[in-house]
Amino acid sequence: MSTDKLIDRHDVSDNPMEDLDCSGLLCPLPVYKAAIVLGRLHHGDLLRLITTDPGALEDVPAMARQRGDRLVSVSVADGHQTFILEKGSLQ
Amino acid sequence: MTQPHTLTEPTAITDSAPRKKRIALVASKGTLDQAYPPLILASTAVSLGWEAGIYFTFYGLDILHVDRFEKLKVASLANPAGPIQLPNALGAIPGATAAATRVMRKWMRNSRMPTIPEFIDMNRDLGVRFFACATTMGVMGVTEDDLIPGADIAGAAAFLDYAADADVTLFI
């Protein structure tokens, strides 16, 4: 599924966005740090998470599933993964 | 027939929070390399919104030992996948374990991984439950004062009581 379709399904362009750069960090640190930031966001807020750990491509979607957050988009470029996550209502 | 009023009142059910998933881990090894996995898994589990508990038993109790958790080592003997790969005849020479340990510490530092004491702090701050095996303490002469604060001294029944409600249970 393309990133555009994901965003079209649910427009989040006006939601507040936080940035977290976890470049150079290995598991469990990107998930650990992302969960701390997500924990203080409000339902519907966005987190832009940047990682370089190849495992993050599996870990971040898994984190979103388990926490009840929504993975809005993933993009990969120049060895960096950029995830947009929307804080859910469960955690 | 008239029912007493108290019996006809609807029961108040206010505790509707969904049950959290739970991981119950056993940490049975006291080497530097084997101390990381339970601490990584427990901190990740809480980050996912789960509950996590670790039962530290036998050599794994060193991970909670205030005099030992900063000095965990990697074996150079009979450890063919270790940081320095030596034939066993050389792995037994004095200084080989210290050398292997230095290499692993360097790997971890260069990868920006937390130290074991830092991981313990992270886990404690996240609310990971630490069980210290009471039998190990008795057998090895470890006292409560030897352990980092916040560990629950408990036996197998207490851990199994916790693990009975776990979704994931792993022995490391």
**Cβ atoms of residues A39 and A50 within 8 Å:** no
CATH code for the domain of B159: 3.40.1260.10
Task: Please tell me the predicted confidence (pLDDT) of residue B80.
Answer: 81
Residues B89 and B171 in one domain: no
pLDDT tens digits, B7-51: 445 555 556 678 999 999 999 999 999 999 999 999 999 999 999
pLDDT tens digits, B84-130: 888 888 888 888 889 889 998 999 999 999 999 999 999 999 999 99
Query: How does residue A60 score in pLDDT terms, banded at 50, 70 and 90?
Result: very high
Residues B85 and B36 in one domain: no
Query: How does residue A7 score in pLDDT terms, banded at 50, 70 and 90?
Result: very low
Residues B124 and B154 in one domain: yes
Tokens 């702090």 identify what position? B121
Q: How many CA atoms lie within 13 A of B94 on its CB side?
A: 0
Task: Please tell me the predicted confidence (pLDDT) of residue B86.
Answer: 82
* Alpha carbon distance B170, B172 (integer Å): 6
Residues B63 and B94 in one domain: no
Looking at the domain assignment, is residue B78 inside a domain? yes
B112 vs A contacts (CB less than 8 Å): 24-26, 29
B124 vs A contacts (CB less than 8 Å): none
Task: Please tell me the predicted confidence (pLDDT) of residue A9.
Answer: 57
Minimal C-alpha gap between B33 and chain A (Å): 15
Answer whether A25 touches B (CB < 8 Å): yes
Looking at the domain assignment, is residue B147 inside a domain? yes
Residues B101 and B125 in one domain: no
Residues B108 and B131 in one domain: no
Minimal C-alpha gap between A26 and chain B (Å): 7
Answer whether A85 touches B (CB < 8 Å): no
Ordered structural domains, chain A, with CATH = 3-86 (3.30.110.40)
Residues B92 and B156 in one domain: no
Task: Please tell me the predicted confidence (pLDDT) of residue B15.
Answer: 61
Looking at the domain assignment, is residue B1 inside a domain? no
Percentage above 90 pLDDT, chain A: 79
Answer whether A77 touches B (CB < 8 Å): no
The encoded tokens of residue B4 equal 């007493």
Task: Please tell me the predicted confidence (pLDDT) of residue B64.
Answer: 96
Residues B40 and B100 in one domain: no
**Cβ atoms of residues B154 and B134 within 8 Å:** yes
Arithmetic mean of pLDDT over chain A:
90
Name the residue of chain A whose CA is nearest to B122's CA: A32
Mean pLDDT of the B59-66 span: 96
A91 vs B contacts (CB less than 8 Å): 49
For residue B88, CA distances in Å to B33, B34, B72, B80, B97 come to 19, 20, 20, 9, 12
Looking at the domain assignment, is residue B13 inside a domain? no
ipTM comes to 0.85
Domain enclosing residue B79, as ranges? 74-114
Beta-carbon contacts below 8 Å between A and B = 40
Looking at the domain assignment, is residue B160 inside a domain? yes
Looking at the domain assignment, is residue B10 inside a domain? no
Looking at the domain assignment, is residue B7 inside a domain? no
Minimal C-alpha gap between A46 and chain B (Å): 17
Is the pLDDT at A4 greater than 60? The verdict is no
Mean pLDDT of the B166-172 span: 97
Is the pLDDT at A48 greater than 60? The verdict is yes
DSSP classification of residue A17: E
- The side-by-side arrangement of strands in the sheet containing A46-51 is A17-22, A46-51, A80-86, A70-77
Stronger pLDDT, B76 or B55, i.e. the higher one: B55
A63 vs B contacts (CB less than 8 Å): 47-48
DSSP classification of residue A53: -
Residues B84 and B144 in one domain: no
- Based on the structure, what is the number of domains in chain B? 2
Residue A38 burial (10 A CB sphere; 0-12, 13-18, 19+): buried
Residues B47 and B105 in one domain: no
Looking at the domain assignment, is residue B60 inside a domain? yes
Contact B49 A27 (CB under 8 A): no
Answer whether A54 touches B (CB < 8 Å): no
Task: Please tell me the predicted confidence (pLDDT) of residue B95.
Answer: 87
Residues B81 and B148 in one domain: no
pLDDT tens digits, B119-162: 999 999 999 999 999 999 999 999 999 999 989 999 999 999 99
The string over B29-67, giving b where at least 16 C-beta atoms fall within 10 Å of a residue's C-beta and e elsewhere, is bbbbbbbbebbbbbbbbbbbbbbbbbbbbbbbbbbbbee
